[in-house]
A and B are shown apart, each in its own frame.
Chain A
Amino acid sequence: DVKVTQSSRYLVKRTGEKVFLECVQDMDHENMFWYRQDPGLGLRLIYFSYDVKMKEKGDIPEGYSVSREKKERFSLILESASTNQTSMYLCASRQSGANEQFFGPGTRLTVL
């Protein structure tokens, strides 16, 4: 079974803090994705990576950066957290060319 894990289920941070969200997959997938999920807006793509050290901006990259130093790990960084980044963050991975994206359980981030 493919497993995608995220470092925290719940996280509370203060405005201005630097925040790291980690995602690890165990199936040697090339592609990895970070989304945020907000009620009524569905999933919006923040960044994706199609291979190690490769990254592409998604629809809403502002205020975020990413790092993919190893194939299994894709990190999302909030350089200076703001209250409008309070959201559910979902990581996904996919074998290149395959249909299915496999999702982690999500991290619910609250920025106070």
Chain B
Amino acid sequence: GEDVEQSLFLSVREGDSSVINCTYTDSSSTYLYWYKQEPGAGLQLLTYIFSNMDMKQDQRLTVLLNKKDKHLSLRIADTQTGDSAIYFCAESIGYQLIWGAGTKLIIKP
């Protein structure tokens, strides 16, 4: 079946870049997503990429998609304390989303 995998934790120093990785199994995904969940809040869409693209940049965020390896990454430049959150990767299969377990980003001062 479909599966999306992410590391559970990532720790970075404030000001460094964070790279959160995700692998997925279903090659028929049309879109891949990154959602952010701040403590005590629901999820919020951060960015998404269409499956025929290999990169998308939006201010401090860069999404890289390697469709051959089914690997998606989210790079956050100049990581700030406000970036502390859980980041979820998801792939779309029809009208459903298949979710990863989420990566908790921990910022060290």
Contact = CB atoms under 8 A, between A and B. Distances in A.
Q: By CB atoms of chain A within 10 A, which of B42, B96, B97, B99 has the most? A: B42
B44 interface: yes
Contacts of A50: 95
A4 B96 contact: no
Interface size class of B (residues with CB under 8 A): 20 to 34
Contacts of A96: 95
Contacts of B45: 99-101
Contacts of B102: 42
Given A45-B96, A99-B31, A99-B33, A4 B42 contact: yes
Interface in B36-73: 40-45, 48
Chain B contact residues, majority secondary structure: strand
Interface in A29-86: 31, 35, 40-45, 48, 50, 58
Given A42-B88, A99-B48, A104 B42 contact: yes
A75 to B, nearest CB: 18
Interface string A82-94: 0000000010101
Interface residues of A, number: 23
Contact of B100 (A42, A94, A99): A42
B31 A42 contact: no
B95 to A, nearest CB: 6
Contacts of B88: 42-43
Contacts of A43: 43, 88, 97, 99
Interface of A: 4, 31, 35, 40-45, 48, 50, 58, 90, 92, 94, 96, 99-101, 103-106
